[in-house]
């Protein structure tokens, strides 16, 4: 067999280019991670993973907190992914940004809970990044999940809540997770030579957006999470790369202006202060495929005493998706039915099935979602009142995945909601909510060899 026709594949372990003293973190160490993936070979986008050791360190110490009495932890849905606040992928040689996602941890909270069931958290995500999820079908299971020792882990004879499984080693918990972004979800090879190499920049999140006092939230003895901070050590990017044969490389270089279709997420933030609110977003993309949004009381952001990755239900009464004021893609409003017999708002239906159905359609046909944490119980208002949630809204703009034009149009939604304050314990007190929206778009990268790259929206 001619050796020139044999493809070789290698897995690269890439260290950050901003090494410093080897410690990374928001308050201690470097506040961002920067990786250069090189400019040789075909990057296997589905095999890009971020690995590191995560330590939850008490002020004045240098090792991971393993004291079970100090119940400080990361979120249920994201685990170690909570440390990533923003990611950006750009061409190394040409400096052209290809994709940037703000509020990255909020996006992953929806992706993880919508596409993974509780059993998948236990058997998969738990091992990768220490996230345990919340997935139940009855109220009794919910109480057991949050309050009893029946659902806890036991380490070295000590009962430990699922939320604090990060602390199993004084050196920190080793984590390895897939980098979730549109470019790496495109399911294709990327010629690093064509794009001029790739650079991945990760901006780290504030301590109070990562750590929470799990004990205070579950009604147990409280800790003082502000006395702690997180640290990342030994970070590396693991990437699969196929080396081209000389013949394949020659054929590729013969094309002076190659094009590369790829996906990207566009992120937006809105502060909802009115019970009748309209969110409008300028996407500036020729093909918008889908959208999803999640919500959380604004006061819970960057708050040690709240789950930063909770996706709460603001008690939506009416939902309409829009394009320039017209109903798109749904030609009707989504409105949870109200039971006239029930006077207690906590018992009212708050998750009209179509809302959750279209939310799941943001990731493809809902019928293909065989596993998910989304269900009418933990997506309802009662889960929000218990300081956590697993809820969102979303829609698919095109079942054929060709998308609709968002080039000059405004896309968004209009919601009527009660904006109930989960801390008030009544059905009248309101509080502002924050909405995080993510649009999946199809774009094209045009390469001009030796001159640069351009993104065609």
In the structure, what pLDDT confidence band is assigned to residue 402 with cuts at 50, 70 and 90?
confident
Percent of the chain with pLDDT over 70: 83
- Residues 279-308: what's their mean pLDDT? 92
Question: How is residue 120 written in tokens?
Answer: 């998948």
Is the pLDDT higher at 110 or at 212? 110
Element (H, E) at 174: strand 173-178
Question: How is residue 58 written in tokens?
Answer: 């008490």
Residue-level pLDDT at 275:
95
Cβ contact 260:394 at 8 Å: no
- DSSP string for 126-145: HHHH-------SSHHHHHHH
In the structure, what pLDDT confidence band is assigned to residue 321 with cuts at 50, 70 and 90?
very high
Cα atoms in the 13 Å half-sphere on the side-chain side of 52: 27
Cβ contact 289:440 at 8 Å: yes
- Residues 320-332: what's their mean pLDDT? 94
| d(C-alpha 207, C-alpha 104), whole Å | 15
| d(C-alpha 36, C-alpha 25), whole Å | 20
Residue-level pLDDT at 135:
66
**What does the buried/exposed string (b/e) look like for 230-250 if buried means 16 or more CB atoms within 10 Å of the residue's CB?**
bbbbebbbbbbbeebbeeebe
Cβ contact 439:291 at 8 Å: yes
In the structure, what pLDDT confidence band is assigned to residue 82 with cuts at 50, 70 and 90?
very high
Range from 190-204, 217-231, 393-407 that averages highest in pLDDT: 190-204
Residue-level pLDDT at 343:
55
Residue-level pLDDT at 381:
77
Is the pLDDT higher at 423 or at 291? 291
Residue 143 in this model has a pLDDT that exceeds 90: no
Would you give the DSSP letter of residue 430?
Answer: B
Q: Which residues contact 70 (CB under 8 A, 6 or more apart)?
A: 58, 223, 228
Q: Partners of 395 in the beta sheet?
A: 291
Residue 315 in this model has a pLDDT that exceeds 90: no
Pairing of strands 189-191, 198-204: unpaired
Q: Which residues contact 303 (CB under 8 A, 6 or more apart)?
A: 208, 212
Cα atoms in the 13 Å half-sphere on the side-chain side of 217: 31
Question: How is residue 430 written in tokens?
Answer: 């309101």
The distance of Cα 312 from the centroid of its chain, to the nearest Å, equals: 15
Cβ contact 444:307 at 8 Å: no
The sign of the torsion formed by the CA atoms of 408, 201, 123, 69 equals: negative
Cβ contact 172:178 at 8 Å: no
| d(C-alpha 263, C-alpha 7), whole Å | 26
- DSSP string for 382-428: HHHHTT--B--EEEES-TTS--B--SS-EEEEEEEE--B-TTT-SSS
Which of 153, 135, 120, 109 has the alpha carbon at shortest distance from 294? 109
Would you give the DSSP letter of residue 310?
Answer: -
In the structure, what pLDDT confidence band is assigned to residue 264 with cuts at 50, 70 and 90?
very high
| d(C-alpha 394, C-alpha 396), whole Å | 7
Range from 124-133, 184-193, 212-221, 406-415 that averages highest in pLDDT: 406-415
**Dmax (CA) of the chain:** 78
Cβ contact 346:385 at 8 Å: yes
Is the pLDDT higher at 285 or at 367? 285
For 453, the 3-state DSSP assignment is strand
Q: Of 207-211, 337-341, 433-437, which gets the smallest average pLDDT?
A: 337-341
Is the pLDDT higher at 347 or at 276? 276
Residue 363 in this model has a pLDDT that exceeds 90: yes
Would you give the DSSP letter of residue 301?
Answer: T
């Amino acid at each position: 067999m001619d050796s020139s026709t044999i493809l070789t594949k290698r897995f690269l372990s890439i260290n950050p280019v901003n090494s410093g003293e080897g410690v990374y973190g928001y308050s201690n160490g470097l506040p961002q991670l920067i990786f250069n993936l090189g400019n040789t070979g075909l990057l296997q986008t589905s095999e890009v993973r971020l690995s590191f050791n995560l330590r939850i360190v008490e002020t004045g110490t240098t090792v991971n907190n393993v004291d079970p009495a100090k119940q400080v932890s990361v979120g249920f849905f994201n685990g170690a992914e909570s440390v990533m606040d923003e990611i950006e992928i750009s061409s190394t040689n040409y400096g052209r940004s290809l994709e940037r996602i703000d509020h990255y941890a909020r996006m992953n909270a929806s992706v993880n809970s919508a596409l993974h069931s509780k059993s998948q958290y236990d058997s998969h995500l738990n091992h990768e990044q220490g996230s345990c999820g919340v997935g139940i079908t009855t109220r009794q299971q919910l109480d057991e999940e949050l309050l009893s020792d029946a659902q806890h882990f036991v380490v070295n004879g000590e009962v430990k809540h699922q939320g604090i499984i990060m602390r199993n080693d004084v050196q920190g918990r080793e984590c390895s997770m897939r980098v979730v972004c549109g470019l790496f979800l495109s399911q294709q090879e990327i010629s690093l030579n064509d794009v001029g190499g790739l650079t991945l920049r990760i901006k780290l999140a504030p301590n109070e957006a990562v750590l929470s006092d799990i004990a205070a939230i579950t009604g147990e003895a409280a800790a003082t999470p502000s006395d702690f901070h997180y640290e990342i050590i030994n970070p590396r990017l693991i990437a699969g790369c196929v080396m081209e044969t000389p013949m394949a490389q020659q054929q590729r270089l013969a094309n002076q202006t190659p094009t590369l279709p790829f996906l990207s997420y566009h992120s937006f933030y809105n502060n909802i202060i009115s019970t009748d609110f309209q969110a409008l977003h300028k996407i500036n993309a020729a093909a918008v495929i889908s959208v999803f949004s999640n919500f959380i009381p604004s006061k819970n952001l960057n708050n040690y005493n709240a789950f930063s990755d909770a996706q709460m239900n603001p008690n939506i009464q009416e939902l309409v998706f829009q394009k320039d004021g017209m109903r798109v893609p749904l030609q009707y409003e989504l409105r949870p039915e109200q039971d006239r017999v029930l006077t207690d708002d906590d018992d009212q239906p708050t998750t009209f099935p179509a809302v959750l159905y279209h939310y799941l359609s943001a990731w493809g046909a809902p019928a293909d979602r065989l596993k998910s944490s989304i269900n009418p119980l933990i997506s309802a208002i009662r889960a929000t009142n218990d300081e956590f949630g697993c809820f969102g809204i979303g829609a698919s703009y095109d079942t054929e995945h060709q998308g609709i034009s968002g080039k000059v149009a405004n896309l968004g939604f209009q919601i009527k909601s009660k904006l109930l304050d989960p801390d008030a314990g009544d059905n009248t007190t309101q509080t502002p909510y924050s909405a995080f929206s993510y649009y999946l778009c199809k774009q094209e990268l045009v390469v001009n060899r030796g001159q640069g790259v351009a993104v065609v929206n």
